[in-house]
Amino acid sequence: MQTWKVTPLGEFPAEPGPVAVHDTPSGQVRPVGPAEGTARLYVCGITPYDATHMGHANTYVAFDLLHRAWLDAGLEVHYVQNATDVDDPLLERAHDTGVDWRELADEQIALFHSDMEALRVLRPQQYVGAVESIGLVTDMINNLDRAGAVYAMSVGESDLYFRQSRDDRFLSVSGLTREEAAPLFAERGGDPDREGKRDPFDSLLWRQKRPDEPGWESPYGVGRPGWHIECAAIVGHYLGSGIDVQGGGSDLVFPHHEMSASQARVATGEEFAKAYAHAGMVGLDGEKMSKSKGNLVLVSKLRAQGVDPMAIRMALLTQHYRSDWMWTDELLAEAEAQLARWREAVRLESGLDSAPVIAEMRAALRNDLDAPTALAAFDAWAGASLAMDSDDVSAPGMMARAADALLGISLADPQA
């Protein structure tokens, strides 16, 4: 894969100021990131057994807005994202299709990167796979073991589990009660009823190798990492404790983000993240879009049909990142028309004054990544500039650069 990195500011001047997002634990929109220096962001990546759908795209475009807002505020950004390139869904898909699991993972990761590049999502500084992180995971298990937070199952395979009772802040990320959390844990990959567990919420740290499964040598036997500790270990190594934002889809609040944070707190004695931000779910035909339901709208298929990726991104940005919403053909058609209108406006020889519009866009995006309000401001400028004579010859170029820098929407002619 090619190295792809665009500095979103380009000739567009940075404007210092706070950026705020909705923090799930507090339920408040509050400033995130330092006043100066480097903001640290981790967003959970894909399990690469199928192509990028609109739910994925919604999440990564949302946190791309945060990335860009921080850069626009004059900050550096250290952004890390993982790929869970060995896990049960991947192995099951490989078995069902007869494709080697490593080949399937590599193929889907490459397709994901291609989709993200087409959507102009800025690359993280590190993409880190689970397989390459096994040494980091076993180091963290060792730290947890020293804290008395690890036990081996006495029934069946001697998998290692995290003793959840060692963390007195468990459920502080989600705010759920144990009664509310229990069904979610069962639905989202947990094993609360496994015989031999000391607490239903104890989570898997190391899975001993089963027949016909891959495994890696470790001090804890041949096996592979659990899901939650993978992210905790990657964050600890590449970003350290107390990162500015842990991000992902809202379906990751519990158990994944809750348990990753819990394991990291016990292993390090420090807080995992200062804020947790979550994107909403995207549905189709009244249901959440997911691989298990088979109701996917894939970025790659739309691209193959000739849909402009900037129209896809525009459609995503018309919805606030935290909302749950439905993808429709009508939404895409409206985005295509809006994109054409914007491109026509920035080709004008002159336009209305851009300064107040850009200020409005910045204010919207720094207030919980409010892309719909930012789009509305640009749209009003485009409509007015197309409808009336104006004499600001710099405005079309400035607005094009603002769309690029702040929203990640290129208004260059895709045929040029």
Contact (CB, 8 A) for 161 and 141: no
Alpha-carbon gap, residue 404 to 307, rounded angstroms: 19
Alpha-carbon gap, residue 227 to 88, rounded angstroms: 10
Measured in Å, how far apart are the chain's first and last C-alpha atoms?
Answer: 24
pLDDT of residue 6: 44
pLDDT of residue 296: 87
Each residue of 31-86: pLDDT tens digit? 999 999 999 999 999 999 988 899 999 999 999 999 999 999 999 999 999 999 99
Q: Beginning with the edge strand found earlier in the chain, give each strand of the sheet holding 287-288 in spatial order.
A: 287-288, 282-284, 325-326
Which of 76, 93, 1, 2 has the alpha carbon at shortest distance from 39?
76
pLDDT of residue 24: 98
Alpha-carbon gap, residue 290 to 124, rounded angstroms: 24
Each residue of 50-59: pLDDT tens digit? 888 999 999 9
Alpha-carbon gap, residue 314 to 335, rounded angstroms: 6
Contact (CB, 8 A) for 73 and 33: yes
Which domains are assigned to the chain?
19-279 (3.40.50.620), 307-407 (1.20.120.640)
Alpha-carbon gap, residue 324 to 58, rounded angstroms: 10
Amino acid identity of residue 387, one-letter, is A
pLDDT of residue 122: 94
Q: What is the number of alpha carbons within 13 Å of residue 170 lying toward its C-beta?
A: 18
Structure tokens at 409: 């929407």
Contact (CB, 8 A) for 166 and 149: yes
pLDDT of residue 371: 98
- Host H or E run for residue 92: helix 88-97
Phi, psi of 223 (to 5 degrees): 180, -155
Helix, strand and coil in the chain, % to nearest 5: 45, 15, 40
| DSSP character string of 311-344 | HHHHHHHTS-TTS-EE--HHHHHHHHHHHHHHHH
Alpha-carbon gap, residue 5 to 121, rounded angstroms: 9
Token pair 């490989």 is at which residue? Answer: 94
Residues of the chain whose pLDDT is less than 70? 1-11, 289-292, 416
199 has which bridge partners?
A: none
Structure tokens at 107: 């193929």
Residue 407: C-alpha distances to residues 30, 238, 326 (Å) = 21, 27, 21
Q: 283: helix, coil or strand?
A: strand
Alpha-carbon gap, residue 107 to 356, rounded angstroms: 45
